[in-house]
Structures are given as structure tokens and as C-alpha cells.
Amino acid sequence: MPLLELAHLQKSYGPVKALEDLSLEVPEGCLYGLLGPNGAGKTTTLRILATLLAPDQGTVEVAGIDALQDPRSVRCLMGYVAQEVAIDKILTGRELLQLQGDLYHLQPANRDKRMEELIALLGMQDWIDRRCGTYSGGMRRRLDLASGLLHRPQLLVLDEPTVGLDIESRGAIWQVLRELVQQGTSVLLSSHYLEEVEALADRMAIIDAGRVIAEGTPDELKQRLGGDRVTLRVREFSDQLEAERLQRLLQPVEGVLQIVVNRAQGYSLNLVVEGDQVLQRLRQQLDQAGLPVFALAQSRPSLDDVYLQATGRTLMDAELAVAGQRDTKQERKQSMR
């Protein structure tokens, strides 16, 4: 039985459908990554899971408990680290952890011992007694991670845990998450960073427009794609017209399975190829047409290719498409009680 089972979740905010029909299973003891661009429905999914939001349709089960029927039991099992870290600026980090421990009804002695463990684990000794208002983004995120871990949850849920963080804080958080999974905690995190999911996740799902469009281990997803990847540029920055002409020119070359125009990278071409000496044949074809080659590289498929294959656009394209469209005021209203 999976630790977490989301089935056919649907959620709309007025006319906007945030979740179309989302189903997901997270096995016990694994680090599970939800990958998707902003606006794909990751935060909505996690907020439903955290019992902050009721879905319009669908079911949520954690360790066999129906989260919609018995949210309190699920809250006991779960630690939730939200994306926007709400913090009381006037309290010190230690006072905030104490408050959190009391809200989870830890015995005071137990609570204080656990706090010391986490302060050491996350390297917070030097500033834990300073007021939270003085903390940097990385310090806040570490404090929030600590408060999510205080009651030793069976499942830790993190919404974009390292977005906007410096490399050092990011590395520290990654390290803690890896250790947690080794010790038996299950972790579910959302991210729009490919490399984060690639580096951490045992299993992953790609979410786009409110549904899961691919699911498996990162290796499975890449292998399922098949073939190698070739990136081709005839000049550093091309335009759409030229890219489409090239697409037509190279499509008939033997061993070329698919060609996608990558708008986000100056209209380079992303090719899926199979077999030997495809590169050579591509060069020949370009030579005959009298076209230069600025860059031509072959690689194994990456998660970006998985995303590209599933959605027809790169993750960066998807990010760009929603950038500037987000209504942060509306989003804040949605999360406000």
C-alpha cells in the first residue's frame, strides 16, 4: 500500500481550473519529486494534502487514513513546509519552535531535546536566539524545515523548498532531506528546478495544467523516451523561419525520429535520434544545403527532454509563458482564510 494516495483530485478557483484530474501514489520511504512549471497545480495539490484546502472532487489518503474525513490524524503524521514562509518576526527562532512543538503537543522535555537535535542538524546554533525578523531567506527556510520536522512526521511535504536560495543553503537542505529518507522518513517535494528533482528524487511525477503527464523514476522516464538527443544550431541565435526550414530539411535524414524547435534557446533544434552515425549524416545534409554549423552535440536524454516530449515545450518555455501572468494578489487571497 502506498503511503500517500491522491485520486482524481479536481479543484477550481472560480473559472480557473487549478487541478484537472490529478492522481498520484507515493510509496513509503522514498523521496518523491513533483516537477512542473509555475501554475501547473503543484501548490494546490500540496495545500490539499496539508488539509488547508478541500478539493472539489477526489480523495486523499495518508497511511490508510482519509484526510478529508479525519484531517487531524493526518496532520499528526505529516510535516508541511509551505512555499511562502510565514514567520513571526518578533519571536526568536527558538520561541517559534517551542510554539510549534506545543501546537503538536510534544512533552516539554521531549520538545526541548528534539529542538536541540534539529538546531544542531540544520546548523542554527549561532542565530536561533535572534529574532526571526533579522533572518535571511536561507535561515528562514532552515527554521521552517526544523519546525516541519519537530514532531518526527512520517511524511514531510515541502513546497519548492529551495526556490530563491543561495547555493550553500540549498546544499544544506538537500543533505538533510537525503539523510531523512535514509532514516525512513518519506518526503514529497515540489520543484520547478529540473536539477533539484534529478539530484534528489527516487521517483517523480511531471505535472502540467493540473494533471500528471508522466510518472516513474527519473531513469525510467528518460529510458522510456528512447534514443539520443542532439542539439543543433546553425548560428548562435536563429529565428523561427530558419529553424522551421531546417526542421523540414533534416526530417528525412535516416535515424532522425523527431525534431522540436526550442524557442527558449534561440530557436535551436532539439532532435531525437537513433542509431550510429546520425551526426555524420546530419553534417552531410547541412553541407549540401550550404549551411554552417555553429554547434552540434549528442547526449543521453535528460529530464528536460522528458518534459519536452510530454508537453511539447521545454520547462523554461512553460515558465516564460506564465511569467507575468501570475496574479499574486489573487493567489494570496486564495491562501487567506
Partner 1 sequence: MTSPVATPTSAPMAELVQETMALTRRLFLQLQRRPSTLVAGVLQPLIWLVLFGALFSRAPEGLLPGGISYGRFLGAGVIVFTAFSAALNAGLPVMFDREFGFLNRLLVAPLRSRSSIVLASVIYITTLSLIQSLAIMATAALLGYGWPGMAGLGLVLITLLLLVFAVTALSLGLAFALPGHIELIAVIFVFNLPLLFASTALAPLSFMPPWLGWLAALNPLTFAIEPIRAAYAGPLDLSVVLLDAPYGPVSGYVCLLVLMLLTVGLFLLIRPLLNRKLS
Which residues of this chain interact with partner 1, rule CB under 8 A?
50-52, 72-73, 75-77, 80, 82, 84, 86-88, 90-91, 95, 98-100, 102-106, 110, 114, 151-154, 183-185, 332-333, 335-337
Dig out the grid coordinates for 153 from the structure: 512526521
Nearer to partner 1, 76 or 297 (CB): 76
Least distance to partner 1 from the beta carbon of 333, Å? 8
| Minimum CB distance to partner 1 smaller for 98 or for 238 | 98
- Residue among 1 and 241 whose Cβ is closer to partner 1: 1
Find the shortest distance in angstroms from Cβ 165 to partner 1. Answer: 19
**All three cell numbers of 215:** 510518472
Say how far apart CA 115 and CA 109 lie, in whole Å.
10
Complete DSSP assignment for 53-112: S--SEEEEEETTEETTT-HHHHHHHEEEE-SS----TTSBHHHHHHHHHHHTT--HHHHH
> In sequence order, what are the residues at sequence separation of 6 or more whose Cβ sits closer than 8 angstroms to the Cβ of residue 312?
260
Please, what is the minimum distance in Å from the beta carbon of residue 10 to partner 1? Answer: 20
CB of residue 87 vs partner 1: minimum separation in angstroms? 8
Smaller CB separation from partner 1, 82 or 306: 82
Q: What is the CA radius of gyration of the chain?
A: 23
Which of residues 44 and 51 has its CB atom nearest to partner 1 in the complex? 51
Distance CA 326, CA 163 (A): 17
Q: Closest separation between CB of residue 240 and partner 1, Å?
A: 42
As given in the structure block, the three cell numbers for residue 148 are 516541519
